[in-house]
Amino acid sequence: MRLKSSTFINFADVEHLKQSFEPLADNDARILILGSIPGDRSIELGEYYGHPQNRFWKMIAVITGAPPPINYGQKRAMLMQNRIALWDVAQRAHRQGSMDSAIRNEEPNDIAAFIAGQKKLQRVVFNGKKAEQLYGRYIERLSGICYLSMPSTSPANAAVSFDILCEKWREILI
């Protein structure tokens, strides 16, 4: 699997340059959840889905039957216990604010290499349309992997109720 070709990226405007985190994963992952790139609050905290109104962690707890995590260590452990890896499609991008619609000049993470190293991986799940769009721009889909697009857990997607969000996201579980 290889990255699709991309154009030259100019990162001269560092004021709005956002950087992704390392993946949260171990060798047991069966599910890889991909977001677009961390928002401002997440970057400030150094944690995936750090905005207090993002429903990601609460939703993962509900669909897996895990107790609600209190701190980031418990959040990471909940993912590992449920064989879920977490990463972002973009390694870096320009974005003023935290809206996915503002992402520009993105550079992808090497997800192809990551997937190749995950021998038990069965599903790639996109947390929102932007993550799926970015993935499609840079990375080829593999046969043998199930790809699912889920509604975003972002507070900007408030039109989808928490109950509906959980109902749809339950589909990711193997």
The enclosing domain of 43 has a CATH number of: 3.40.470.10
**Which residues span the domain enclosing 130?**
15-172
The share of the chain scoring above pLDDT 90, in percent, equals 72
Question: Is the Cβ–Cβ distance between 86 and 31 less than 8 Å?
Answer: no
Could you give the number of structural domains in the chain?
Answer: 1
pLDDT attached to residue 17: 85
Q: What share of residues in the chain are helix, strand, coil (percent, to 5)?
A: 35, 20, 45
Tell me: the pLDDT tens digits for 67-95?
Answer: 999 999 999 999 999 999 999 999 988 77
Does 9 map to a domain? no
Least confident span in 38-52, 96-110, 124-138, 154-168: 96-110
- Extract the runs of DSSP E, i.e. beta strands, from the chain: 17-19, 31-35, 84-88, 90-94, 104-108, 123-127, 146-150
Q: So what's the pLDDT on residue 12?
A: 46
Instruction: Classify residue 1: in a domain, yes or no.
Output: no
How far, rounded to the nearest angstrom, does the alpha carbon of residue 92 sit from its chain's CA centroid? Answer: 13
Looking at this protein, which amino acid is placed at residue 56?
A: F
For residue 54, indicate whether it is catalytic: yes
The pTM assigned to this predicted structure is 0.89
Examine residue 87 and state whether it is found in any structural domain, yes or no: yes
Q: Kindly name the residue from 27, 54, 109, 157 that is annotated as catalytic.
A: 54
7 in any annotated domain: no
